[in-house]
Each structure stands twice: as structure tokens, then as C-alpha cells.
């Protein structure tokens, strides 16, 4: 291979591997056992010559790494994620490195997890499962695990871009939808009642179930804080499949303690892989380890898209999909790029 390409992690499927090696690339896949690679680990991987890197959302792609990649002759970096809060795009630009991400292929999978957490939280499924396994079930009772009926309730979506809009389409069981942020119509489908909120506070006050789908940047850091939690309904459900720091997790733990009927479904955390103290003890929280995009089709599609981003740039084309791209590259009916 003429071009040296590094993937900081093994990724699902083989299509992405074949794509690269069929096109003159010598691919090196880091198989270190360590889950999260440090900046130093990645500098060592980049070495003296490296044309492009496929990296992960757990890695800190800033000045240090982009200058190292640039010194090694690298021109392309792709995050294997749609979110790119771990990437300093300005630093990449400064060092002449193009950045790609992997939108589109994970839209439906991520929305499906948010919908699953919504229903699971409403019907207390995880709590009930734990109860059953602990051998505590000794007969049907009128009060046992009474939860919320979603039909007829108002679902709030904050950040109604690709993922939030797909989630909204799945949640039509609730009948009323209140969105804040740009709403993308999927296949022309519309909820029975759909209102655009003028402010985020309106969604927080009125919705019975709220799902968060913004990107993480300076404007959305701690978007959900103590004050905003306090205006939500006492029995509301909050779902977060975006990025952990969008929610002030310490304030959330306090809120869960003070409001036992308030429930959350969380896929992401402020200091992954850690949870803030107390969260793991809260019965009114469902917590899963950042698995929103974890379906086979999606993860293979993300790997393929990341490889195409890097390959395209190396071959002299514009980066395949980049963080500034507004329109989805793929929609839910498209296969992963071949
Ligand atoms: C996953 O969290 C992603 O941003 O793709
Ligand atoms: C519950 O199982 C019922 O029959 O109402």
C-alpha cells in the first residue's frame, strides 16, 4: 500500500477494510486492550508517516494530535461518530487536515434507542425486571409497578434534527408532539398534533416526555440544569441519547432524589465511562452504556463511511461527509455506502 491509514480501534464488518486495502492503502488497526487511547498512545500510532486516521469519540482530537498528524503528512481524519465534540475542527483546519463524521447511518438506530428508553422508563421495565430476578414477585397487585400511559401525552423533542425528527416519528403513539429546533420531516409523515415551541422552556413545562437530541457545543453544555429541571413536570420522563454534558448530571441526581416520580433514560454521561455519585442507586433512572448507535447495520455503516471519508481525501476528493454538512448524507432507506 502506498498510503498508510490507521484505525485507532477495530471496527465492525469488513467492507471498510476492503475499501481501503483495495485502493492502495496499508491499513493498521490498533488492537491495544485499553478501551480509551490517550493522546500519547495516538501520537505513537501516527509515527513518522501517516496519511489518514479513523478515530473514536473517546479520543481527544485537538492541536496536539492534528499537528502530529500534519507532521506525518496526514491530510484526513474521520471520527467514527456523528457527534464531533471530541474534535477541534479549527485546529484540524489550521494544520491542513480535513475532518469527516458519520451522519445518516445512525439516525434510525439512535432514535430507536431513545424510543426504547422512553417506553422502558414510562413502564418501569428495568425496575420490574430487577424485582422479578430478585425473587420479589409474590403475586399480582393493583399497585405493582404502576407507570405512565404515553398515549395522549405530549412528547417534547429538543434538537429536532435528523435523530430528533426520527424519534418524533416513532413516538406518534403519544399523539401530541412539541419540538424545539429545526424539524426535519421524514417521508412526509407528521404526528397527529404537532406544535413548534417558541422557547425551550415551553417544551420543558408542557411535555410529559422529553428527549434530547442537540449536538454538544458551548451553547448546549448543561442545557438541562437545576433551574430547567425544576420547571419540568414532577412526573415527566427525560431521555438523553445525545451527549452527557448536555445535562448537568449532579443536578439531575439531586432532582431524581427529590422527585421519585420523575424518571430518566440515559445513554450518555458527563464523565464517561463514569456516572456521577448516586446515579447508579436511583431506581427512577435507566442507564445504558452509550449504545444508541449499536446495531450491526449502523456500526458497519459508520465504519464504512469513516473509511470513505479518509480514502476520499487521500485520493484527492472532498471529504465524504463533514461536520458542516447540513443535509443528511444517507436517509433511513439507503444501504450503507458500498
Ligand atoms: C455516537 O455517539 C455518535 O456520535 O455517533
Ligand atoms: C391484569 O392482568 C388484568 O387482567 O387486569
3 state SS of 280: helix
Q: Is the CB of 80 under 6 A from ligand 1?
A: no
Residue owning the nearest CA to atom 1 of ligand 1: 81
- Per-residue model confidence as pLDDT tens for the chain (338 residues): 899 999 999 999 999 999 999 999 999 999 999 999 999 999 999 999 999 999 999 999 999 999 999 999 999 999 999 999 999 999 999 999 999 999 989 999 999 999 999 999 999 999 999 999 999 999 999 999 999 998 889 999 998 888 998 998 888 777 677 888 766 655 555 555 778 888 899 999 999 999 999 999 889 999 999 999 999 999 999 999 999 999 999 999 999 999 999 999 999 999 999 999 999 999 999 999 999 999 999 999 999 999 999 999 999 876 767 776 543 333 333 334 33
The full DSSP string for 200-247 is: HHHHHHH-SEEEE-PPPSTTTTTSB-HHHHHHS-TT-EEEE-S-GGGB
Sheet with 3-7, strands from edge to edge, namely 25-29, 3-7, 52-55, 76-79, 98-100
The strand pairing partners of 99, in sequence order, are 77
pLDDT of residue 333: 38
- 22 within domain boundaries: yes
Q: Is the CB of 83 under 6 A from ligand 1?
A: yes
Q: Is the CB of 306 under 6 A from ligand 1?
A: no
Other C-beta atoms within 10 Å of 192: how many?
A: 10
Q: How far is the CA of 82 from the centre of ligand 1 (A)?
A: 5
Atom of ligand 1 nearest to the CA of 83: 4
Q: Looking at the structure, do residues 86 and 74 belong to the same domain, yes or no? A: yes
Residue to probe by mutation, ligand 1, list 166, 213, 293, most atoms within 8 Å of CB? 293
Q: How far is the CA of 280 from the centre of ligand 2 (A)?
A: 32
Q: Answer yes or no: are the C-beta atoms of 310 and 77 closer than 8 Å.
A: yes
Q: Are strands 237-240 and 176-180 parallel, antiparallel or unpaired?
A: unpaired
pLDDT of residue 151: 85
pLDDT of residue 53: 98
Q: How far is the CA of 133 from the centre of ligand 1 (A)?
A: 32
Q: Looking at the structure, do residues 77 and 202 belong to the same domain, yes or no? A: no
- 97 within domain boundaries: yes
In the DSSP assignment, the letter for residue 153 is P
- 321 within domain boundaries: no
Q: Is the CB of 240 under 6 A from ligand 1?
A: no
- 328 within domain boundaries: no
Q: Looking at the structure, do residues 246 and 115 belong to the same domain, yes or no? A: yes
Q: Looking at the structure, do residues 239 and 153 belong to the same domain, yes or no? A: yes
Ligand minimally distant from the alpha carbon of residue 144? 2
- 74 within domain boundaries: yes
Cis amide linkage into residue 9, ω under 30° from 0: no
The owner of cell 490507521 is 6
Q: Is the CB of 79 under 6 A from ligand 1?
A: no
Catalytic residues: 243, 272, 290
Q: What is the pTM of this model?
A: 0.90
- 332 within domain boundaries: no
Q: How far is the CA of 76 from the centre of ligand 1 (A)?
A: 19
Instruction: Name the residue range of residue 236's domain.
Output: 107-287
Q: Answer yes or no: are the C-beta atoms of 292 and 267 closer than 8 Å.
A: yes
Q: Looking at the structure, do residues 64 and 150 belong to the same domain, yes or no? A: no
Q: How far is the CA of 147 from the centre of ligand 2 (A)?
A: 15
Q: Looking at the structure, do residues 163 and 178 belong to the same domain, yes or no? A: yes
* Residue 41's CATH number: 3.40.50.720
Amino acid at each position: 500500500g502506498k498510503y498508510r491509514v490507521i484505525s485507532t480501534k477495530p471496527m465492525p464488518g469488513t467492507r471498510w477494510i476492503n475499501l481501503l486495502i483495495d485502493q492502495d492503502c496499508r491499513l493498521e488497526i490498533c488492537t491495544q486492550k485499553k478501551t480509551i487511547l490517550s493522546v500519547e498512545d495516538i501520537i505513537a500510532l501516527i509515527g513518522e508517516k501517516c496519511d489518514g486516521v479513523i478515530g473514536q469519540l473517546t479520543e481527544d482530537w485537538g492541536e496536539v494530535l492534528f499537528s502530529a498528524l500534519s507532521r506525518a503528512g496526514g491530510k484526513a481524519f474521520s471520527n467514527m461518530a456523528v457527534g464531533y465534540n471530541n474534535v477541534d475542527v479549527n485546529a484540524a483546519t489550521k494544520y491542513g487536515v480535513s475532518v469527516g463524521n458519520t451522519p445518516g447511518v445512525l439516525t434510525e438506530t439512535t432514535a430507536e434507542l431513545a424510543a426504547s428508553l422512553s417506553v422502558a422508563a414510562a413502564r418501569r421495565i428495568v425496575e420490574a425486571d430487577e424485582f422479578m430476578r430478585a425473587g420479589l414477585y409474590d403475586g399480582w397487585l393493583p399497585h405493582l409497578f404502576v407507570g405512565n400511559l404515553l398515549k395522549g401525552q405530549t412528547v417534547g423533542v429538543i434538537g429536532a434534527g435528523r435523530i430528533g425528527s426520527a424519534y418524533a416519528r416513532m413516538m406518534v403513539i403519544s399523539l401530541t408532539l412539541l419540538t424545539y429546533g429545526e424539524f426535519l420531516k421524514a417521508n412526509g409523515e407528521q404526528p397527529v398534533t404537532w406544535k413548534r415551541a417558541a422557547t425551550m422552556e415551553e417544551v420543558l413545562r408542557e411535555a410529559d416526555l422529553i428527549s434530547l437530541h442537540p449536538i454538544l457545543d458551548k451553547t448546549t453544555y448543561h442545557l438541562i440544569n437545576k433551574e430547567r429541571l425544576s420547571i419540568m413536570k414532577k412526573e415527566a420522563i427525560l431521555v438523553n441519547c445525545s451527549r452527557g454534558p448536555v445535562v448537568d448530571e449532579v443536578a439531575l441526581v439531586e432532582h431524581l432524589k427529590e422527585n421519585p416520580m420523575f424518571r430518566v433514560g440515559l445513554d450518555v454521561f458527563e464523565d464517561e465511562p463514569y456516572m456521577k455519585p448516586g446515579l447508579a442507586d436511583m431506581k427512577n433512572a435507566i442507564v445504558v452504556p452509550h449504545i444508541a448507535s449499536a446495531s450491526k447495520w449502523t456500526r458497519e455503516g459508520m465504519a464504512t463511511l469513516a473509511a470513505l471519508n479518509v480514502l476520499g481525501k487521500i485520493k484527492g476528493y472532498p471529504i465524504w461527509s463533514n461536520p458542516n454538512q447540513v443535509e443528511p448524507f444517507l436517509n433511513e432507506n439507503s444501504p450503507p455506502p458500498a
